[in-house]
Amino acid sequence: MAAGPKAGIRFERIAFLSNESAEGIAARDALIARYGHVDAEQADIIVALGGDGFMLQTLHRFMGSNKLIYGMNRGSIGFLMNDFSVFNLEGRLNAAEAKTVHPLLMEATDREGAVSKARAINEVSLLRQSYQAAKMRISIDGKERLDELAGDGVMVATPVGSTAYNLAAHGPILPLDAKIMALTPISAFRPRGWRGALLPDKAKVTIEILEAEKRPVSAVADHFELRNVREVTVEMDHATDLVLLHDPGHSLNERILREQFGY
């Protein structure tokens, strides 16, 4: 029978979850054999084994549960993850540094008037669905700021997500403790010189789709997609806490700082 964690450590009940890759499954089996395992609902902490995509899935799954999440990389990039090792997990969990982040809340109305809500840890993206450029009007806190943006789309990114799709679209990298969001255009055609904006994390962004039937647009909150939208609002959900654990010296703050210097 697998031995459980030693008495007296900070986390008595650990749940190990993995992606479906061979590396993830093998890592999960090895850790369970060494430390034991409980169902996620009864766990003090969740250890997620996979890449950044699996980490986002895990965070979404336990959003609002106050579960602590500690990730170890069994994927590719692993920006949100710690290095993988079977050894000294109790010590690593005891020494881990906690960081609380908040997701975005998207409220999207489609062309039929149906309203859907979803949360995003990385970004909310509005993307053209056809060969024609999307056209959008952008307002901040009820005041129009851009009467027409034409291009492939636009996104609102959190500091956590600023190094993901936002960075690929030439958006700014945001320090994790910065109380701001990035509003970043995606292949903007007009206005040609607009590079986006930095917004307070208490701002409410409203994006209206112009010529919605001729130029259809989808709204995507991380992995949730709603097609044929006509209006989308995005704001930071300060009422929802997500707690990530990282090894000392490998915090998200440190990783984001390294990204800004290109390593």
Catalytic residue among 29, 39, 44, 52: 52
Locus of tokens 């030693």: 6
DSSP code of residue 6: P
CA–CA separation, 100 vs 173, rounded Å?
18
Pairing between β-strand 97-101 and β-strand 45-50 as defined by DSSP bridges: unpaired
CA–CA separation, 76 vs 62, rounded Å?
23
Q: Where are the beta strands (DSSP E) in the chain?
A: 14-18, 45-50, 68-73, 97-101, 104-110, 115-120, 123-128, 134-140, 143-157, 180-190, 197-200, 204-210, 217-221, 224-226, 229-236, 242-246
Task: Specify whether 52 is catalytic.
Answer: yes
- The residues near 219 (Cβ < 8 Å, ≥ 6 apart) are 106, 108, 124, 125, 126, 127, 225, 226, 229, 232
Q: What angle do CA 39, 69, 123 make, to 5 degrees?
A: 125
What is the identity of the amino acid at 39? D
What φ, ψ does residue 168 adopt, rounded to 5°? Answer: -65, -30
Indicate which residues carry an active-site annotation. 52
